[in-house]
Structure 1
Amino acid sequence: MSAPHLPKVAGIDPEVPVSTQAAVPLKEIPAAPGAFIQDRLAGWVSDLTTLHELTERLAATATLDTALNELLHAGAALVGARRGLLVLERADTTTPATTLGLGLGPADLGHLETVERSATALGRVLDGPPDAADARDGIATPDLLGDQDVDPRHREVAIRLGYAASYALPLASEAAGRLGGAVWFYDEPGEPSEKQRHLVGLYARYATEHLARLTELERARADLATVAEELLPSRLPRVPGVRLAALHRTGPRGGGDWYDALPLPDHALGLAVGSVGGSGPSAMAAMGRLRAGLRAYAVMEGEDPVAVLSDLELLLRLTEPARTATALFAYCEPAARTVVLAGAGHTPPLVLGDRRCEYVETTLSAPLGMLACWEAPSVELSPAPGETVLLYTDGLLRRTGDAMDRAFARLHSAAASVPRADRHDPAAVTDHVLRAMLPDGLDRSDSAEDVVVLAAHFD
């Protein structure tokens, strides 16, 4: 007996057998494919944000030392390490290598130096071929204590310092070449993940370019400072009745501040400070010409400071018609304890002694090169025995960051606070004034001003 046929319904074939088994209920609803992609995108955005923040912090560094410190800290954060070591080897063999540790003291660095260079991952990164895989991906040593291929001395140092794994990465890029290498140490066996290696590799290539720029900038600054120092007196003269001390620091772009002290006939002494407008090699060259001209004029007519500055103004207009300069020249007779000085737009001297601390009242005058004919009256003062006359450039005031009236008040306060025991030593007076004016020191990278201080102490 055949089963009855089901009637045909549009879209349904009654010949297709129907399953008699009940459908298994769904316990979990499968995730939509878009959720996985969103998670991946969120991870990429997070990684890129972290990398952007770290590179921004690195780009904000203006000196090589701060950049190296930032690189070590950022690399440790990216690979998940706590300590690290960086070696910067510059191309010129005359410059010694720079070694910097993170979480490692001088004694720890000394222990690491006892390990043969070729036995460490950092050494292989530094000395290996630039096109080797290690130069791109770095070298991971996930178990320094258990790996039998590790140098015994290296294992001994690792046990002493308490690290069990390391990851070394070269500091190299196509444009800059290889500048050095860095290694980060893990307290437990392990190694960075593939994502961590990728991120720290991107960061290291960017850091290499930044370090190369800072290295060239630092070399240029050092060359400018050397040239500036060569243009200034190599030593101060010894004249009976007066003792001298001077300090000069060139700004990062090289400026035109200068000083001079030269013995003159009849046991006299000429003191000068000045500042040429602008910065860089051209300003330094102009400074050298002005200083040489002032020395010649001082020998011929030093007893008349106004005539010396008038001749200097003529020299400036003939040789540097588009440039201005400030200058102050003082003709000193230590035996008579008299000083005759004239200034051209320059800051007034400061007299410091046991009974007074005051600025010398000089006549307001224009800088050299601003008027068709410069002229200003001279001023005479008589320092008492034991008093110090302080000459300086406005860079000392500007480096404070204060308004000029506040900077002058600050300088007066700094000079007045010199301990009584140090007031008879011009070098001690200079040091105290500088520490009081610039507590952060003269090496602040955010200031482009030159600083000149010249102290003359009269016995």
Structure 2
Amino acid sequence: MLDIPFLVRVHVDALIAAQNDMGVCDAIERNAPVGKPAAMSAPHLPKVAGIDSAVPNSTHTAHSLPSLPTPPGAVLQDRLAGWVSDLTTLHELTERLARTGTLDTALHELLRAGAALVGARRGMVVLEPVADPQRADCFDADHGPAFTKGLGLSHAELGHIETVPRLATAYGRILDGRRPGGLPGPATSPEAVAQPDLLADESLDPLHRDVVVRLGYAASYTQPLASEAAGTLGAAVWMYDEPATPVERQRHLVGLYMRYATEHLARLLELEHARETVATVAEELLPSRLPRVPGVQLAARHRTGPQGGGDWYDALPLPEGALGLAVGSVSGSGPSALAAMGRLRASLRAYAVMEGEDPVAVLSDLELLLRLTEPARTATALFAYAEPAVGKIVLAGAGHTPPLLISEHRTEFVETSLSAPLGMLACWEAPSVEISPEPGETVLLYTDGLLRRTGDPMDRAFARLHAAAASVPRTARQDPAAIADHVLRTVLPDGLDRDGTGEDVVLLAARFD
């Protein structure tokens, strides 16, 4: 990870001999009195009759010893100590960067560490990844468009910088030099660009000069985000309040750091691309829209975990104005879990059309199918057969969490029979439960990912969910989407409801008129 430009050999014998030669002199200088008046250090004559001891001595004194040159061993020691300090600092900064798990946090850490290495206060990074590092003319929109992040710069100030023509900026010349229409000639490895005094540069673009004056910086140092394996992913710019430029030692350290940061960012980009692909596949396997059935309003919320889990939901119109509602979760994560979830959901839809009025029969058929086709996998499911015209719901669950009834007068869990998950028993059958929601009440179905993302024990997670449902504002109880959003934000505060922060989460809310 770190490359040292040259090696240092210290001859121990010569170093010890030089230190021994200087030992006495160093001891004399080290033990010399400091801060005492000359009169106190001068020799005192004894008081003898007829002789005044205050009479000054002769001005003739012995010559002082000449100062000896610094031994070469001390110079090597100082230099070696400086290298060790630099490498320690570089190790600490790369360790901090390695602990980042998202692009946003990694770019912030990169800007902060780079500013400390070059001695700047503000900076910005522009990320423009390419699809194939071996081809400078190949850009991949799936890896994301240009991504800009600032350190000590507001969004408005970043906007001012982006008004400057790209080729008038150092980072623009670095990035455009790899694509057609940029700088002439084949793409080469970009180099850092130091601009020690921008206002004194007569070739500076007028718009660039205006931005420099407006933002109040006088110098900049631009370092490419490039490595041999990842190619050029972007560039970072650090800005100085006064004319300045980093010294050679600082340039070398920040160059080493940026090469490591490029490799780390390339891995994060691949991870983000994989997460987006998994999330897209998961969304395609779920209903593209919810059906419109008289007497009931529907709303759903789905959050995909970082690896893509198997949580799903469904709402299916059935004959005679009935409605089938289902939620479930397949064990495992990744593409295999997504594929199993798609097969399970499709099978449940078929069974619901044939015998949806009997939820126990639907889940029994699903249990048999899972044991025969995927004996190593388990799943939980809850299926409800709703008749909005008569205000009745018949439901059955297989190892799934109980639904919630939410209204202005009550908030309570539906008491369902206990059952093992699908695939856990040789013969599965549990009695169904019938409930009669009153007009204006909402039935909330959800998966256990909502509870697990809280990080609390299950009993406390259930209590948190009940409290969130009970605290839905009166004005929001008429809208199932508002109810689902309030519950999601309340149960999972501080961004835990965002994609990529844990297990899958599914909420399906049905409000009966």
TM-score by length of 2: 0.82
Question: Which position in structure 2 is the counterpart of 1:110?
Answer: 159
User: Cα gap change, 1:354/1:444 in structure 2, threshold over 3 Å: closer, same or farther?
Assistant: closer
Query: Could you tell me which amino acid in structure 1 is paired with residue 275 of structure 2?
Result: R
Q: Which ranges of structure 2 fall in alignment gaps of 5 or more residues?
A: 1-60, 131-138, 180-184
Question: Which position in structure 1 is the counterpart of 2:289?
Answer: 235
Task: Note if 1:99 corresponds to 2:148.
Answer: yes
2:276 and 2:443 map into 1 onto residues whose CA distance is 31
Query: Could you tell me which amino acid in structure 1 is paired with residue 360 of structure 2?
Result: V
2:84 and 2:506 map into 1 onto residues whose CA distance is 51
Question: Which position in structure 1 is the counterpart of 2:89?
Answer: 50
Q: After TM superposition, which residue ranges in structure 1, 4 or more long, deviate above 6 angstroms?
A: 130-134
Q: Which of the numbers 155, 166, 171 marks the counterpart of 1:122?
A: 171
Q: CA deviation at 1:374?
A: 1.1
Q: CA deviation at 1:201?
A: 0.5
Task: Note if 1:69 corresponds to 2:118.
Answer: no
- Assess if the C-alpha contact under 8 Å between 1:341 and 1:380 holds in 2: yes
2:242 and 2:218 map into 1 onto residues whose CA distance is 5
Give the SS at the match of 1:322: coil
User: Which is worse superposed, 134-143 or 153-162?
Assistant: 134-143
User: Cα gap change, 1:445/1:258 in structure 2, threshold over 3 Å: closer, same or farther?
Assistant: closer
Q: CA deviation at 1:167?
A: 0.6
Query: Could you tell me which amino acid in structure 2 is paired with residue 388 of structure 1?
Result: T
Question: Which position in structure 2 is the counterpart of 1:10?
Answer: none
Q: CA deviation at 1:292?
A: 0.2
Question: Which position in structure 2 is the counterpart of 1:28?
Answer: 67
Task: Note if 1:269 corresponds to 2:323.
Answer: yes
User: Cα gap change, 1:148/1:451 in structure 2, threshold over 3 Å: closer, same or farther?
Assistant: same
Query: Could you tell me which amino acid in structure 2 is paired with residue 39 of structure 1?
Result: D
1:253 and 1:206 map into 2 onto residues whose CA distance is 25
- Assess if the C-alpha contact under 8 Å between 2:304 and 2:504 holds in 1: yes
Q: CA deviation at 1:438?
A: 0.7
Question: Which position in structure 2 is the counterpart of 1:453?
Answer: 507
Task: Note if 1:368 corresponds to 2:439.
Answer: no
Query: Could you tell me which amino acid in structure 2 is paired with residue 198 of structure 1?
Result: H
Aligned 1:373-412 pairs, distance under 5 A:
373-412=427-466
Aligned 1:66-215 pairs, distance under 5 A:
66-91=105-130, 92-94=139-141, 95-128=144-177, 135=189, 137-215=191-269
Task: Note if 1:223 corresponds to 2:277.
Answer: yes
Give % identity.
76
1:79 and 1:405 map into 2 onto residues whose CA distance is 52
Query: Could you tell me which amino acid in structure 1 is paired with residue 78 of structure 2?
Result: D
Question: Which position in structure 2 is the counterpart of 1:11?
Answer: none
Give the SS at the match of 1:421: helix
RMSD between aligned residues: 1.9
Q: CA deviation at 1:132?
A: 9.7
Q: Which of the numbers 279, 289, 308 marks the counterpart of 2:333?
A: 279
Task: Note if 1:327 corresponds to 2:366.
Answer: no
Query: Could you tell me which amino acid in structure 2 is paired with residue 77 of structure 1?
Result: A
Q: CA deviation at 1:446?
A: 7.4
Q: CA deviation at 1:70?
A: 1.1
User: Cα gap change, 1:265/1:275 in structure 2, threshold over 3 Å: closer, same or farther?
Assistant: same
Task: Note if 1:307 corresponds to 2:356.
Answer: no
Give the SS at the match of 1:243: strand
- Assess if the C-alpha contact under 8 Å between 1:330 and 1:340 holds in 2: yes
Q: CA deviation at 1:335?
A: 1.0
- Assess if the C-alpha contact under 8 Å between 2:304 and 2:499 holds in 1: no
Q: CA deviation at 1:158?
A: 0.8
Q: Which ranges of structure 1 fall in alignment gaps of 5 or more residues?
A: 1-21
Question: Which position in structure 2 is the counterpart of 1:12?
Answer: none
2:326 and 2:107 map into 1 onto residues whose CA distance is 41
2:394 and 2:95 map into 1 onto residues whose CA distance is 54
Q: CA deviation at 1:24?
A: 5.2
Question: Which position in structure 2 is the counterpart of 1:295?
Answer: 349
Give the SS at the match of 1:354: coil
Q: Which of the numbers 488, 491, 502 marks the counterpart of 1:437?
A: 491
User: Which is worse superposed, 155-164 or 245-254?
Assistant: 155-164
Q: CA deviation at 1:113?
A: 1.9
